[in-house]
Amino acid sequence: MKEKSTNAEIAFFGGSFTAIDREYMQSLLDATKPYIDRFYGIRISTRPDCIDDEILTLLKSYKVTSIELGAQSMCDDVLCANDRGHTAEDVRIASKLIKEYGFSLGLQMMTGLYMSNDDKDIYTADEFIALSPDTVRIYPTITMKNTRLAQLYYDGEYVPQTLDNAVDLCAKLLYKFTKNNINVIRLGLHHSDSLEKDMVAGPYHPAFRELCESKILLNKFLSLAKNFDKNEITVKINPKCVSKFVGNEKGNIKKIKEIGYDLIIIQDENVSYMDMSLS
């Protein structure tokens, strides 16, 4: 970066940063020193059971600003079934410590894990909200080749989420977090060639968040439309949300017409993002 950025962070992801060899971890942090003044700070991800006072003091000295915990679930039976190696209480303790030390707290969850269900995933979201994180990432579980989960799938012991089910659930989670002023900074997996090549099953879609936001707007319309006769309805919506409301391949419009509503869509910049008004 040629100019100083007040928003960008140096990030260490793809593993449990505080669980790696301590000397190696510090060598990575040392490598940031010549550049750190150009950035807002450093963001890391790690395991909930690899956080304590000593490690937080060390991270603070290197200007780490954000810590994300790979919590995945707040149900101990789900964590155990998926060999996560930590408990929900570990997440609570680590989150409290991280916030006490002044770091920005991020929590990561996975939906559709082995032995989980929609109710357990919604419970996890509610438990996250109780911990007041600054950010959340939501990843629907994707089954990959040569994994224990793949074997469970082949043996018929694990049934992955369908795309429709994952969208329905994650739309509810996204709405829940947003309503509680928690920023969902990632919803769905990044596209990669290896993901598409090695994926066995699961609700992967390259525009997964778009599908969830589209579902939120459809649900909002149907809730508001109950107060109207099934005839022509004018929908005022923010221009940035029109394509989301229309839906993938006009899926939302088709569903709305099947119910019996005729629509006139008006773009209005005065309407809040992800909101609408009907008349």
Q: What is the pLDDT along the chain (279 residues), one digit of tens a residue?
A: 455 566 799 999 888 999 999 999 999 999 999 999 999 999 999 999 999 999 999 999 999 999 999 999 999 999 999 999 999 999 999 999 999 999 999 999 999 999 999 999 999 999 999 999 999 999 999 999 999 999 999 999 999 999 999 999 999 999 999 999 999 999 999 988 889 899 999 999 999 999 999 999 999 999 999 888 777 899 999 999 999 999 999 999 999 999 888 899 999 999 999 999 998
User: Which residue, among 72, 133, 61, has the nearest Cα to 104 in the 3D structure?
Assistant: 133
Q: Extract the tokens encoding 101.
A: 């030390």
Global pTM value: 0.92
Q: Is 206 helix (H, G, I), strand (E, B) or coil?
A: coil
User: Which residue, among 72, 70, 48, 59, has the nearest Cα to 102 in the 3D structure?
Assistant: 59
All domains of the chain, ordered by start, with CATH? 9-206 (3.20.20.70), 218-278 (no CATH)
User: Which residue, among 81, 153, 163, has the nearest Cα to 120 in the 3D structure?
Assistant: 81
